[in-house]
A and B are shown apart, each in its own frame.
Chain A
Amino acid sequence: MGGGGRGMGGGNRGMTAQPDAVSGTAQAGQARQRAATDTGIRKLAVTSEGPAMTDRVDPRFGRAAGFVVVDLETMETTYVDNGASQVLAQGAGIQAAETLANAGVQAVLTGYVGPKAFTALTAAGIRIGQDVENVSVAEAVRLYTTGAVSFADAPNKPAGANK
């Protein structure tokens, strides 16, 4: 079984993703836009069904297919596979949190986070934006940069609910 940080199997897909979708609205909301330099959040992970910005947000945290990691200054993306969590009967959320900590992200956007994953992410200093679902990864990032996603101070699912 995987220890921490073996989840980079997807590799760097190096996309300069969807400049139209993101930058158009970003300019409109510039006054409220969250700049990476202000928030201290430069690398943002989004739980995703696939590696592209057009893929949908996977609402599950621990059992998410993977994470699209966005550098908010350059808008470059990488994909981190979450296979190490899929093989665990229990503790997927903790494993996923480890994977994100090793990927060096400062925040994650997802649908639901259970209590153990929440504790683990918080200990690693990773902020959590919950209730992001039914949108593409690009749209989730846009929602974040325009200030529409707030960070949670409590988990929104009971343990093991995302199996």
Chain B
Amino acid sequence: MIYAIASGKGGTGKTTVASSLVSLWDGPVTAVDLDVEEPNLHLFLKPEIHRTDPAYIEIPEADESKCTLCRACSTLCQFKAITVMGQTLLIFPEMCHGCGGCLTVCPEGALTPGRRQLGEICHGRAGNVRFIMGRLRVGEAMSPPLMRQVKALFADMVAEDDKADIIVDAPPGVSCPAVSAVIDADCVVLVTEPTPFGLHDFKLAWEAFSPFGIPMGAVINRAGIGDDSVQRFCADKGIPIWAEIPFDRAVAEAYSRGEVVARAVAPLRGTFRQLRRNMREAAMAREAACAR
């Protein structure tokens, strides 16, 4: 099963929740940091990284002696990555989304596959937990292509072993990277905080992810501050609240030391075990419904 820990608002506690769940998981689990623009799950899990692979996207390279300036490629490209100006074929590698369309349509065989580095994928282990992290290259603008490569790794794991559980630390927000992180999940945990700001972005996330038909539940972090607007919204929309993490000095202190809060703060263990049960049940229920 693939469990995505997501949120509309940044800084609500996705990594706090993901690292705690991983540390209390009762079976083989792989922790995946898909927040490739600013991965930070490793700061809490402190994995030993034993392999780092560069990740690339395919871009066109031109043999100008074969190019007849027919513009088949530039007409196709929606991103202005390849264009004909005057008597010159121009390629802008950083604009390319890697669709490969230009290579397919070129009638002269003037384009061959080249590559641009997107970033890197790190493989490691933290105790019994397998760890995978994508990290975008500084200056690279497109994160979903790198995320797809990371997702292909854990999709293979799940395909090989249907007992394999994956916990994904997703990027915040509701744009392409966030959608890319949750769309293949079997269950989505939306982390929020009980404030007007938290509610605003929680609503956006719920609206953005609802159409996927993936079971979703809320985790209210820093419970006790703010107001009850998130709880009322959840009640109104029928969103289950799977866990509440109290606004507590001990939690903040553990977090500030880079500790996994479920390990450092004993009363939270029950909270995260209950969350784990709720996630499992939601994912199983969906699987059963799909099988029928």
**A→B interface (CB under 8 Å):** 1, 3-4, 88, 90-91, 94-95, 97-98, 101, 116, 119-121, 123-125
CA of A156 to CA of B83 in the docked complex: distance in angstroms?
Answer: 22
- B49 within 8 Å of A by Cβ? no
B residues within 8 A CB of A119? 90, 92
Q: Are A124 and B85 in contact (CB under 8 A)?
A: yes
Please report whether the interface of chain A is mostly helix, strand, loop or mixed according to DSSP.
Answer: helix
**B→A interface (CB under 8 Å):** 71, 74-75, 78-81, 83, 85-86, 88, 90, 92, 95
B residues within 8 A CB of A125? 86
Q: Are A101 and B80 in contact (CB under 8 A)?
A: no
A98-B83, A123-B85, A124-B85 given as contacts; is B78 within 8 A of A1 (CB)?
yes
Q: Are A4 and B74 in contact (CB under 8 A)?
A: yes
A residues within 8 A CB of B71? 4
Q: Among B79, B85, B90, point to the contact of A90 (Cβ < 8 A).
A: B79
Q: Are B86 and A124 in contact (CB under 8 A)?
A: yes
A residues within 8 A CB of B74? 3-4
CA of A46 to CA of B88 in the docked complex: distance in angstroms?
Answer: 24
Q: Are A120 and B85 in contact (CB under 8 A)?
A: yes
Q: Are A95 and B80 in contact (CB under 8 A)?
A: yes
CA of A116 to CA of B90 in the docked complex: distance in angstroms?
Answer: 10
Chain B nearest CB from A4 CB (Å) reads 7
Chain A nearest CB from B177 CB (Å) reads 15
A residues within 8 A CB of B90? 94, 119-120, 123
B residues within 8 A CB of A88? 80
Q: List 12 A-B contacts (CB under 8 A).
A: A1-B78, A91-B79, A91-B80, A91-B81, A94-B90, A94-B95, A97-B85, A98-B83, A116-B92, A121-B85, A124-B86, A125-B86
CA of A88 to CA of B92 in the docked complex: distance in angstroms?
Answer: 15
